[in-house]
A and B are shown apart, each in its own frame.
Chain A
Amino acid sequence: MNKGYEAVIGLEVHVELKTKTKIFCSCTTEFGGSPNTHVCPVCLGLPGVLPVINEKVVEFGVRTGLALNAKVPNYSKFDRKNYYYPDLTKNFQTSQFDLPICEHGFLDIEVDGIVKRIGITRAHMEEDAGKLVHSGKTISSSYSSNVDYNRVGVPLLEIVSDPDLRSSEEAKEYVDSLRRILTYIDISDCKMEEGSIRADANVSVRKIGASEFGIRTETKNLNSLKALQKAIEYEIERQIEVLEDGGVIEQETRTWDDEQGITLAMRSKADAHDYRYFPEPDLPPIILSDEYIEEVRASLPELPESRKKRLIEADGLSDYDANLIIADRHLADYYDQVRKEISDGKLIVNYLMGDYYRELGEAGLSFVTSPVKPEAFIELLQLILDKTISGKIAKEIIPIMIKEVKSPKSIVEEKGLVQISDSSELEGMILEVISNNPKAVEDYRAGKGNSIGFLVGQVMKASKGKANPALVNELLKKHLC
């Protein structure tokens, strides 16, 4: 139900950076840990402490800016964002206001085969806040709250999109593309379910063709792609309904209740935040030289979109196959390493994403944790290409490669799996199959060309998969005509 309305959506994505230490002190960023054990006076902002910026956080900010086609200015600084909430003890969050680490970028998303460019307003560095454990069932019925400050100071990058998204599918695709880029440049684990990437959605609706934006709400607490999509869809419908009933949208902060599948008002405009940002006096500004920025640019890996293009144009892969390969950087790197020795990209994809992928899954492994090195995979494909083994034998070898971590060559030798490509060795089996299957032979002679497949299968079975199928086909035809 859109009733002539369109949605206008902008996303704020908080990404937890993959550093060993916090943004302003040397406490560990390790997840978990018993309450308040990863905390120091800097985390608590006790009087007299001096925060010092983690250089890795700056580098990751620059990497992200460049990967998102953004401008990385030479001058950047931190500010204090003032608010009262016990998730921070300082009554302010150290963040960036008017001079963030990068601005004016974009990323391209693809929905239903159409590429759309989504603007990125900015990305800024900031500290994460602590975790409140409420005693009641909900925040409002809580009598008191317990606070664990372990997460305080974990470095975050808040990436803000322009209001360019028009549907929940576009929003999902945006987060997906963003997540893929960030894992490629290795600045975050981007595990939504572990909270290392979280999204807030700004949603408004307006009549199609209107030039002004409608009044927007901000929905927080979206920690899965599903929640993001559902919350946006709910908000769009809710707002259209309010407007259609002659009401007005309140500018407010809402929270997503996953259990009920609805958004709820959290804070109304009456207590809208007045953050009173001012420059952080304890942190001197960051001045980045053009050389440094170019150095970081040179260190970036090839990004997913450009890889996809290369796989399609240079390797002849289909759009579908290329998407499978680039979905994961480790897989894409693995493919590239194999591709250096094996020119047939489609063959690589078939074996990687077919039997190999399935066997990994059965062994409880992933492409990252697999013991099969690219060299072993290359060896396997070479054995197939030079016809030492058939595809059927390859299927048998793959699980052994995974479980016993042996090279395909040694498995073939140990088990005597070398393909039989000597016609004299195959003759006997072929004659036997012909005499045992008169019906199929008759069918073939009567013109049913495909019944030869059955006979080839019988010979393959008799040879325990070792016969060269092309040769069997050829010999059978010779005998049957």
Chain B
Amino acid sequence: MSITKDNVLHVAGLARLDLSQEEVARYEVELNDVLEFMEKLNELDTQGVEPTTHVLDISNVFRQDIVEASSDVEEILANAPDREDDYFKVPSIL
């Protein structure tokens, strides 16, 4: 498949990116290059190979259900762009 201008705008929309016309044109080319490169993988014979869901050969890393202290609220809010009392304050949604 190849990437169209609409695909670029759709992906940009999902990522909340506001692109200029020049950027849209540039990403159209770049994303197509990326996909073309990925096409190389299709040259491999993957018959009989299980799909990979995790790159490390580990499983069942579990934790016991025991409560530990949470962080201090000031620490939690230290990186908040804006706050109101002890809440994170965000611009209106929708």
A20 at the interface (CB under 8 A from B): yes
Select one of B16, B53, B60, B70 contacting A27, CB under 8 A.
Answer: B70
CB distance from A99 to the nearest CB of B (A): 7
Interface range for A: 35 or more
Contact between A55 and B63, CB atoms less than 8 A apart = yes
Distance in angstroms between the alpha carbons of A27 and B76 in the assembled complex = 13
Contact between B84 and A146, CB atoms less than 8 A apart = yes
Q: Which residues of B contact A196 (CB under 8 A)?
A: none
Contact between B67 and A21, CB atoms less than 8 A apart = yes
Interface set, chain B 5-60, CB cutoff 8 A to A = 10, 14, 16, 53-56, 58-60
Select one of A20, A82, A139 contacting B66, CB under 8 A.
Answer: A20
Interface set, chain A 1-54, CB cutoff 8 A to B = 19-21, 26-28, 34-41, 43-44, 46, 52-54
Distance in angstroms between the alpha carbons of A28 and B69 in the assembled complex = 8
B1 at the interface (CB under 8 A from A): no
Q: Please give me the residue from chain A that is nearest to B16 by CB atom.
A: A84
Contact between A86 and B88, CB atoms less than 8 A apart = yes
Q: Which residues of B contact A84 (CB under 8 A)?
A: 14, 16
Select one of B54, B62, B64, B67 contacting A28, CB under 8 A.
Answer: B67
Distance in angstroms between the alpha carbons of A44 and B61 in the assembled complex = 21
Interface range for B: 35 or more
Distance in angstroms between the alpha carbons of A382 and B51 in the assembled complex = 65
CB distance from A37 to the nearest CB of B (A): 5
CB distance from A243 to the nearest CB of B (A): 28
Total contacts A-B at CB 8 Å: 129
Classify the secondary structure of B's interface with A: loop
A320 at the interface (CB under 8 A from B): no
A449 at the interface (CB under 8 A from B): no
Select one of A19, A54, A286 contacting B60, CB under 8 A.
Answer: A286
Distance in angstroms between the alpha carbons of A419 and B70 in the assembled complex = 62
Contact between B92 and A53, CB atoms less than 8 A apart = no
Classify the secondary structure of A's interface with B: loop
Q: Which residues of B contact A55 (CB under 8 A)?
A: 62-65
CB distance from A147 to the nearest CB of B (A): 4
Contact between B68 and A26, CB atoms less than 8 A apart = yes
Distance in angstroms between the alpha carbons of A285 and B60 in the assembled complex = 6
CB distance from B10 to the nearest CB of A (A): 8
Interface set, chain A 129-144, CB cutoff 8 A to B = 132-136, 139-140, 142-144
Contact between A146 and B89, CB atoms less than 8 A apart = yes
Contact between B61 and A284, CB atoms less than 8 A apart = yes
Q: Given contacts A21-B65, A26-B67, are A284 and B58 in contact (CB under 8 A)?
A: yes
Select one of B60, B65, B67, B92 contacting A145, CB under 8 A.
Answer: B92
CB distance from B7 to the nearest CB of A (A): 11
Q: Which residues of A contact B70 (CB under 8 A)?
A: 27-28, 37-40, 43
- What are the 6 tightest A-B residue pairs by CB atom distance, in nearest-first order? A146-B87, A26-B68, A55-B62, A56-B65, A147-B88, A52-B63
Beyond the given A86-B88, A144-B89, A145-B89, please list 4 additional residue pairs across the A-B interface where CB-CB is below 8 A: A20-B66, A54-B63, A274-B14, A279-B54
